[in-house]
Structure formats: structure tokens, C-alpha cells
Amino acid sequence: MLQSHPLRRLALLALLATSSLAQAAESLNIDVYRDPNCGCCKAWIKHLQENGFTVQDHVEPNMSQVKQDLGVAPRLASCHTGKINGKFVEGHVPADQVKALAARDDLRGLAVPGMPMGSPGMEVDGRQDAYQVIGLTKGDTDVVVAEYPAK
Ligand SMILES: [Cu+2]
């Protein structure tokens, strides 16, 4: 029977810990596609940056094509579309939800459909409409990932 040396096992564990750390840092890089004239899109990008994300900002004249290519269901559509680790982030999704998406292998992406007032990048005089963060499963089903109440 083959037995692994305790020291070798320790080294392997250290390697695993290091690579998962690297993965966590890597997951904060996000591509964002937006229309050139979209102001709230820029405000959402700023929200991501303030929460530790590195944003690649892509000005894109044909957003409906981008959404189609990334698999954003039309019912989930908003203004800008992000892409992180192969998953989409549609609309004004809060940064902590984007971070949590890395652990959801069952989801193709997240969306805040439309442009609810009070979501990140849509702040108006401290007002907030109730809104939900929707996850799209690999089976094409919508699941509620988070709910934010009206204020
Ligand atoms: Cu918007």
C-alpha cells in the first residue's frame, strides 16, 4: 500500500491554500459592457471599484448582442452587463452579491432586472424601491438569491 509522507501532505495542503487565495483575488476582476451614454452604468462601476473590484470598462454600441452572447435571458435584462469567471452579472447587482456568485456553481449568472431606484448606482435622494437579485440556473430557471426591502 502506498502511503504519502506526512511532510509531502503538508506541502500539498499549503499549495491548495495558496491556489484558493489566488483564485479569490482573481475573481475580483470583472469585465463590464455598457452603452457610451449610460450614466448609471458608470455609477455601478464606481460602486464595484469601491468594493475592491478591478473593472475592465468596455464601451459597447450593441448591448443586446452582448446580452445574447453571454446568455442573459431577455426577462432579466437591464442596462450594463458584466462578465466574471464565465458568469454574467446583469444590471445593478450589489457588489457583495457579485462576490458571493463565485461559490454558486449552479448559476449561469445574476441579475437585477430593470433599474430599481436605490440599487447600487441608482441612488436617488436615499429612496429605495424593493428589488430582488435573481440567479439564472443552468437549467434556465430563475431563483431569488437576495431581496432588498423598500425604504
Ligand atoms: Cu442602470
Domain at 110, CATH number: 3.40.30.10
Q: What is the pLDDT of residue 13?
A: 54
Distance 140 CA to ligand 1 centre (A): 24
Per-residue model confidence as pLDDT tens digits over 75-126: 999 999 999 999 999 999 999 999 999 999 999 999 999 999 999 999 999 8
Q: How confident is the model at residue 17 (pLDDT cuts 50, 70, 90)?
A: low
Distance 22 CA to ligand 1 centre (A): 31
Distance 63 CA to ligand 1 centre (A): 13
Distance 132 CA to ligand 1 centre (A): 15
Distance CA 88, CA 101 (A): 10
Tell me, yes or no, whether 3 lies in a domain: no
Tell me, yes or no, whether 44 lies in a domain: yes
Tell me, yes or no, whether 20 lies in a domain: no
Residue 126 makes CB contacts below 8 A (sequence gap 6+) with 118, 151
Q: Assess contact for 118 and 129: CB atoms under 8 A.
A: yes
pLDDT at 39 over 60: yes
Determine the structural domain holding residue 102 and report its residue range: 28-148
Q: How many domains does the chain have?
A: 1
Tell me, yes or no, whether 46 lies in a domain: yes
Residue 3 makes CB contacts below 8 A (sequence gap 6+) with none
pLDDT at 10 over 90: no
SS3 content of the chain, % helix, strand, coil (to 5): 35, 30, 35
By C-alpha distance, which of 101, 112, 34, 27 is closest to 67? 34
Identify residues whose C-beta is under 5 A from ligand 1, the ion: 40, 79, 115
pLDDT at 139 over 90: yes
Distance 120 CA to ligand 1 centre (A): 9
By C-alpha distance, which of 13, 81, 85 is closest to 44? 81
Tell me, yes or no, whether 122 lies in a domain: yes
